[in-house]
Amino acid sequence: MSAVGRNRVIVTGAAGGLGREIAVQLAERGCALGLVDIDPAGTARVAAECRTAGSDVEEIVADLTAEGAPEATVQRVVARFGGLDALVNNAGYGAIEPFLGMTQRLWQKTLNLNVIALAMACAAAGRVMQAQGKGRIVNVTSPASRMALPDYLAYAASKAGVDSITRAAAVSLAPFGVLVNSLAPGMMDTEMQRSTEKDLARLNRRDDLQVFLDERTARVPLGRRAEIAEIAAAAVWLCLDAPPYMTAERLNMSGGMDRD
C-alpha cells in the first residue's frame, strides 16, 4: 500500500510495551511506519499487527547504539516513504544497581541508548525535517529525571539527559517548523517496569512483591497505574494532533506524580 498522503513515522523500541502500542495506534490513524527494535521476532509481530490495521510498514532490526545506526535508520525510512513526518524516540534501557555498587558497564549501556542514540536520531531526523520545513519529534522521558533515585541513578540521569536534548533540539529546529517535545509516562505494567520493580524489591529485601507494588502504586495521586494505551495515545497526540505552537515542552502523564 502506498505511503503517499500518509504521515510517515519512525517508532523506536517498537517490538513490545509502549512502543508496540504507539505503533498500533499510529497504524490505526493511517500512518506509514518505520518500526525499529533490536528484537527481530517482536518487530515482525508488531509489523504484522500494523499491516492488519492498514499500515505500510518498514521493519528495521537494529542496535541503535552502533555508530551510524540512528542515521541509517532514518535514511532507510526516507528512502522507503519519501520523507519523515514524525520520530518517536521510545527505545530505552534501565536497570537497578545500588548507589555504592554502581558499575561503569551499566552506565555505558544506559547512556549509549537512552542519551547518545536518542540524540543522534534527533539530529538525523532533524536534518530531513529541516529540508522539508516540517516535522515532529517525541522523546520518551520519565518522572525519574526529577527524582533522587540512588538505586536507579543511571536511568534517572539518562532521562535528565533526554530532557536537555529535547529542549536543545526544539530550539535548534524551531526556525524550520520542526516541533520537539517529550512525554513522561508514570508507572506502567510493561516488561521493563515489572523487571525493574522485581529487582528493586529484591534489593530492598521485600519478600512480598505484591505488597511492595501496591505501596508504590499508592504513591500515585490518581491511585492507579497508567494503562499503556493511554500513554500511547498521548504520544500519538504529540505526533499528529498537538498544536503547532507547542515545542520544547514536557507532557507529564504520571497520574499526578510529576506535578511541576
Is 155 marked active-site?
A: yes
51-104: per-residue pLDDT in tens? 999 999 999 999 999 999 999 999 999 999 999 999 999 999 999 999 999 999
Query: Catalytic residue among 93, 152, 155, 245, which?
Result: 155
pLDDT (mean) for 208-229:
92
11-35: per-residue pLDDT in tens? 999 999 999 999 999 999 999 999 9
**Element holding 111 (H helix, E strand):** helix 104-111
Q: Is the pLDDT of residue 2 over 60?
A: no
Q: Is the pLDDT of residue 46 over 90?
A: yes
* Percent of the chain's residues with pLDDT above 70: 98
pTM for the full predicted model: 0.94
What is the predicted pLDDT for the residue at 191? 83
What is the predicted pLDDT for the residue at 1? 39
**Alpha-carbon dihedral angle through residues 200, 202, 203, 208, given to the nearest 10 degrees:** 80
At 60, give phi and psi (nearest 5°). Answer: -130, 110
pLDDT-derived band at 257, boundaries 50, 70, 90: confident
Helix (H, G, I), strand (E, B) or coil at 152: coil
Q: Is the pLDDT of residue 36 over 80?
A: yes
Distance CA 111, CA 105 (A): 10
What is the predicted pLDDT for the residue at 100? 97
What is the predicted pLDDT for the residue at 14? 98
144-170: per-residue pLDDT in tens? 999 999 999 999 999 999 999 999 999
Contact by Cβ (8 Å): 25, 228: no
What are the DSSP calls for 2-22, one per residue? --TTS-EEEEESTTSHHHHHH
CA 146 to chain centre: 17
